[in-house]
């Protein structure tokens, strides 16, 4: 397969066709922050924190590094005024939902994001989809999913599946950038194992952002 040469942060980088900018940057030891990316999962492009600036044929644009594929002679900047501004804004929006998430706080420090800029709507889930996609794509169990849409979108463990599959798995737990997943699981287990629960239908949901 032909090697594609591009430039990332002033460094010449060789990449294989089909690689994303994120993969190419990582292979060259260049860090791009991610919140919804996982190497075992299909590219998703949900959180947008990995946005970078690319320059091609005289024009520049912002692209999502975890889904955008490498191109010959592309000039990529992983930090620039525009990139930092957009990451700051994304973080401020996410922090309104999960103000205490350590991963978000670390990034907020790096980008000077103000966690109080937007009115708090602490739902704790930032809809990165890592838990849902990992369970579906890697474990093939679909024990956790999104229900509803828009502002009502929530993650939910499916009790009938979770009661058989999750207790001894929990591989999705360390993937969650907030506390939302663990909290939803604990609540689901409490409801499901409660003597008052209807064991055939007591799903728990955890409200998240739009
Ligand atoms: S519960 Fe955690 S891992 Fe799952 S979508 Fe929400 S933030 Fe992401
Ligand atoms: S890591 Fe690229 S969009 Fe989330």
12 vs 73: CA distance, rounded Å:
9
Task: Measure 56 CA to ligand 2 centroid, in angstroms.
Answer: 21
* Ligand 1 mutation pick, 130, 136, 186, 188, max ligand atoms within 8 A of CB: 130
> Judging by beta carbons within 10 Å of its beta carbon (0-12, 13-18, 19+), is residue 172 exposed, middle or buried?
buried
84, 209, 21, 44: CA torsion to nearest 10 = 180
User: What are the pLDDT digits (tens) for 131-181?
Assistant: 999 999 999 999 999 987 776 788 889 988 998 999 899 999 999 999 788
The answer to whether 43 touches 22, Cβ cutoff 8 Å, is no
Of ligand 2's listed atoms, the one at least distance from the Cα of 46 is 3
For residue 195, the model assigns a pLDDT of 56
Task: Measure 110 CA to ligand 2 centroid, in angstroms.
Answer: 17
Task: Measure 124 CA to ligand 1 centroid, in angstroms.
Answer: 8
Domains of the chain: 3-79 (3.10.20.740), 130-208 (3.30.70)
Average pLDDT over residues 23-28: 98
Sheet with 154-157, strands from edge to edge, namely: 144-147, 154-157, 204-207
User: What are the pLDDT digits (tens) for 61-110?
Assistant: 999 999 999 999 999 999 999 999 999 999 999 999 999 999 999 999 99
Task: Check pocket membership of 48 for ligand 2, CB cut-off 6 A.
Answer: yes
What is the pTM (predicted TM-score) of this model?
0.88
């Amino acid at each position: 397969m032909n090697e594609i040469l591009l430039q990332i942060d002033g460094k010449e980088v060789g990449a294989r066709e089909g690689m994303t900018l994120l993969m190419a940057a990582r292979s060259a030891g260049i860090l791009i922050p991610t919140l919804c990316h996982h190497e075992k999962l299909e590219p998703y492009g949900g959180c947008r924190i990995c946005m970078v600036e690319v320059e091609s044929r005289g024009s520049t644009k912002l692209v999502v590094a975890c889904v955008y594929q490498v191109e010959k002679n592309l000039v990529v900047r992983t930090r620039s005024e525009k990139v930092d501004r957009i990451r700051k804004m994304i973080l401020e929006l996410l922090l309104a939902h999960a103000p205490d998430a350590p991963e978000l706080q670390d990034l907020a420090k790096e980008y000077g994001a103000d966690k109080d800029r937007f009115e708090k709507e602490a739902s704790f889930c930032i809809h990165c989809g890592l838990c849902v996609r990992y369970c579906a794509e890697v474990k093939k169990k679909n024990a956790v999913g999104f229900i509803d849409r828009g502002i009502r979108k929530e993650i939910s463990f499916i009790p009938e599946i979770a009661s058989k599959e999750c207790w001894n798995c929990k591989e999705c737990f360390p993937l969650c950038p907030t506390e939302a997943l663990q909290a939803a699981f604990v609540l689901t287990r409490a409801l499901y194992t409660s003597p008052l629960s209807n064991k055939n239908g007591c799903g728990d949901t955890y409200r998240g952002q739009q």
